[in-house]
Structure 1
Amino acid sequence: MPKKTLLSGWGRHPTVESRVSRPEKRVTLQSLIEQNGAPVLARGAGRSYGDASLLNNEGTTLLTDRLDRMLAFDPDTGVLRAEAGVRLREILEVFVPQGWFVPVTPGTKEVTLGGALAFDIHGKNHHRDGGISNFVHEIELLTADGKIRTCSPDQNGKLFWATVSGAGLTGIITEVALELRPIETAYVAERTLKADDLDDAFALFEEHEPDYLYSVAWIDCLASGGSLGRSHLMFGHHAEPNELSAKQRQDPLGYEPDHLASLPFDLPEGILNEHTVKAFNKLYYARQRKRDKRAVVGIDPFFYPLDAISDWNRMYGESGFVQFQCVLPMEESYDGLKEILAEVQESGLASFLAVLKRMGPPDGGLLTFPMRGYTLALDIPRREGLEDLLRDLHETVARREGRVYLAKDAYLRPETFRDMYPALEEWLEVKRRVDPKNRFTSAQAQRLGIEP
């Protein structure tokens, strides 16, 4: 019998009471769908930030973390077939020592394959490779009628592109065939550049990004005046053996995941405020004395620095935080980002983490987030004035024809969402066909009015 429990996303808000079930076999998952006519939602690692993986107690949340078997691997093609509950961390631990890496990764390796596809995750290489869906050969999808459908860009293509980026609302992804990336070492050749302001950051992206597979910037969103947009830009590529130090060459594919500390309790409310964050940002920016620095670093420090701290979301206190992530088209990015940074500064709500990336063209998912332009992600503590700030930010993004990322959202309004995602009606046509009774839903879908 499903048990009731409190669930939240990684931002720890909102929290809902939901009936949960944790099937260990796909046949059990299938029987739950066939026998129960109530709403259901699959939930992987719960690393989406807002309410996308939440369902209230009118239905059942199906936890997929035990459906985590790796089924087959073809070393000739690099294609891994695995159940959707497998986490990226588990893939890395098995395959990095064999010379393979995930083709696209977000800033955490704790997401599941199913969750990664549900939001078509993007990474530091989107400008080159696009989202993870570009590396998926096929998926197995459990639909509302209890049937398992094989979907790929060539087979059930409409359903495939509605599912990758479909937030779990077309069915439950049970199996994924993912093409991994060959690597020669477990290291990244990293180049870090300091940008004095936003103009400088854009110029450095433009100059250096074509030469690197990966690029990202940490941006001080509280710097103002002539320092507005000052940043650390990080570029990188998978290191070749001749780039390693003598010590690193002793075990070039040796992979030891970072796990440096844990945060066993909530920090006091308000400890992350405008003054403490501004001081930290100033110190962090000053630490790199050279404008141009090169190093060969491990996979985890380059891709997953925050994963080194367990439960780092507790630093925001019991009230939690919101991650606002938007993307703006290239022609709107510079002015739009300046406007957004100014709005955040005026609100007095400090963002401890601010990440800037440049994106390539849109991916194939009907509800895909990326577009050619710049994406900015801000972690903002939940404090008085947050909803007003988010409403202003959403209006700015919509006015500049950008989008807000649904994997991070908990506040977007239905009318704004529809403006941002023009392919929604096309997506709804697929939803009506495979889920006419709206069996698959979520707190986010209900908030945004996503109904067949």
Structure 2
Amino acid sequence: MSVDTVSLTGWGRTAPTTAVRFRPRTYEEAAAVVRGRGPRGAIARGLGRAPGDAAQNAGGSVLDMTGLDRVRALDQGAGTVRCDAGVSLERLLRILLPHGWFLPVVPGTGRITVGGAIASDVHGRDHPGAGSLARHVDALELLTADGEVRTVTPGTALFDATTGGLGLTGVILSATLRLKRVATPLISVSTERATDLDDLLARFTAVGDRPGGPQSYASAWIDLLARGRAAGRGVLTQGEHAPPSVLSAHAQRTMRAPRTAEYGGRDPWPALPALPGGLLGRTSAALLNEIRYRGAPRSRTGELRTAAAFFHPLDALPDANRLHGRAGLVRYRFTVGYGQEEALHRVVRRISARRCPAFGATLQRFGAPSPGWLSFPAPGWTLALDLPAALPGLARFLDGLDAEVAAAGGRVCLAQDSRTRAETAAAMYPRLGAFRELRAELDPTDAFRSDLARRLGL
């Protein structure tokens, strides 16, 4: 097991803190780290893609779980896979697709670990039909504060506290996931432009009303720099797993032998330097948004893309988190319920009026909530955007958006947070009290801690 002292940040590259990093290669080594933790406790960390401070532990221990990366069993009869927590989703997809299987939930990047995905209870573009990842976990092995390993299954309080629990109930060592059968590794994609936010919401609703709509993958890029009658305009993209009947002979041959580059191949992009002011200021972001909107088809159906190109296009661009400058980026993701569309309008108008340089903002729909006590998804609309951390007055501006979201009964995403106030988070998550009580019972010495947990009093 390797051990070193390092400075760590989240994907947003803000608020670095120093910790002792352990990289266990066996469950026994991980248990030894937990038993030998110092007074600042320990937290598990995967590939470092949490935008905020959920996987940092200032002055304490961090378990780098990427050394635990074995895929232990693929049960084709049951349609399940059992693997270590340090396996990346990208690698799992590379293994599963040639066998005709797919992950039940695919978030916006494949470069996160299974353990991190469960601890964040990630969601995908098909949330109205599939729900979040917790609904597809048959069992997980959890290393608790006493150094023991417990098998945790759905329907228990510990399972509901762990899925979406941000690593604070213990270290996830392995998991068994139920899979989704697919006929091909390609996605049939439809694209349509919306002239404003009302038009975009209506098009989303129409997707959900179509046969099989809730099962499709739908999301929209939204132009948060457009103003006036064009405010909230965007491009809606919908995808479904392509049946063999729509594939050409060439595509069918490709299907039988997927290229490594589809998942986990060599990056075709050069690494980006962290420029002082970033690449996406207001002017450049507005220009890129205009080009992106005008360049999208008014309506197109049947385009075939690889799963990697559809689900994870930015994974081909290393160091995309440097686009917003040396100070890093702040991700703001929130959700408001159905019937609260006016609150969504107000937030979009406030961002637009402030001319925030948001280039990759994404709008999605949520379906039924997860059983996870701190899980983010709830029925309604979710909007995510990245902003330069150096933007003047950003903290006060986002506090104002928090108030708008909370007043509408919504919430921010804790797994991606780097700046929300403790009292705001408590108001947004009604099960937080039960989560704290279970933690106090299971972990009375605060073995598992993170910078986010200290900041929010979790």
- Provide the secondary structure at the position in 1 that maps to 2:439: helix
- Provide the secondary structure at the position in 2 that maps to 1:407: helix
Q: 1:57-136 residue pairs with structure 2 within 5 A?
A: 57=59, 59-136=60-137
Name 1:206's counterpart in structure 2: 205
Q: Measured at CA, do residues 277 and 449 of structure 1 come closer, stay the same or move farther in structure 2, by a change above 3 Å?
A: same
Q: 1:162-311 residue pairs with structure 2 within 5 A?
A: 162-210=161-209, 211-212=212-213, 213-256=216-259, 257-258=261-262, 259-311=267-319
Alpha-carbon RMSD: 1.3
- Provide the secondary structure at the position in 1 that maps to 2:418: coil
- Aligned 8 A contact 2:82 2:177 in 1: yes
Rounded Cα–Cα distance in structure 1 between residues aligned with 2:202 and 2:355: 29
Letter in 1 for 2:231: L
Query: CA offsets per residue over residues 259-318 of structure 1, 9 Å max, x none?
Result: 431324223414311111111111111112433443111101110010011111111221
Name 1:8's counterpart in structure 2: 9
Name 1:391's counterpart in structure 2: 399
Query: CA offsets per residue over residues 355-378 of structure 1, 9 Å max, x none?
Result: 000000111001111111000001
Name 1:420's counterpart in structure 2: 428
Name 1:359's counterpart in structure 2: 366
Structure 1 gap segments, 5+ residues each: none
Of the structure 1 ranges 239-248 and 109-118, higher mean CA displacement relative to structure 2 is found in 239-248
Letter in 1 for 2:286: K
Structure 2 gap segments, 5+ residues each: none
Q: 1:368-447 residue pairs with structure 2 within 5 A?
A: 368-382=375-389, 383-447=391-455
Of the structure 1 ranges 286-295 and 43-52, higher mean CA displacement relative to structure 2 is found in 286-295
Matched, 1:36 2:50: no
- Aligned 8 A contact 2:192 2:297 in 1: no
Letter in 1 for 2:173: T
- Provide the secondary structure at the position in 1 that maps to 2:175: strand
How far apart are residue 3 of structure 1 and its match? 2.2
Letter in 2 for 1:188: I
Rounded Cα–Cα distance in structure 2 between residues aligned with 1:289 and 1:105: 25
Rounded Cα–Cα distance in structure 2 between residues aligned with 1:279 and 1:32: 50
Matched, 1:341 2:337: no
- Aligned 8 A contact 1:68 1:86 in 2: yes
Rounded Cα–Cα distance in structure 2 between residues aligned with 1:267 and 1:235: 34
How far apart are residue 17 of structure 1 and its match? 1.2
How far apart are residue 115 of structure 1 and its match? 0.3
Name 1:147's counterpart in structure 2: 148
How far apart are residue 13 of structure 1 and its match? 0.7
Letter in 1 for 2:348: L
Rounded Cα–Cα distance in structure 1 between residues aligned with 2:273 and 2:251: 36
How far apart are residue 251 of structure 1 and its match? 2.9
- Provide the secondary structure at the position in 1 that maps to 2:74: strand
Letter in 2 for 1:49: P
Letter in 1 for 2:186: Y
Q: TM-score if structure 1 supplies the norm length?
A: 0.96
- Provide the secondary structure at the position in 1 that maps to 2:206: helix
Letter in 2 for 1:207: A
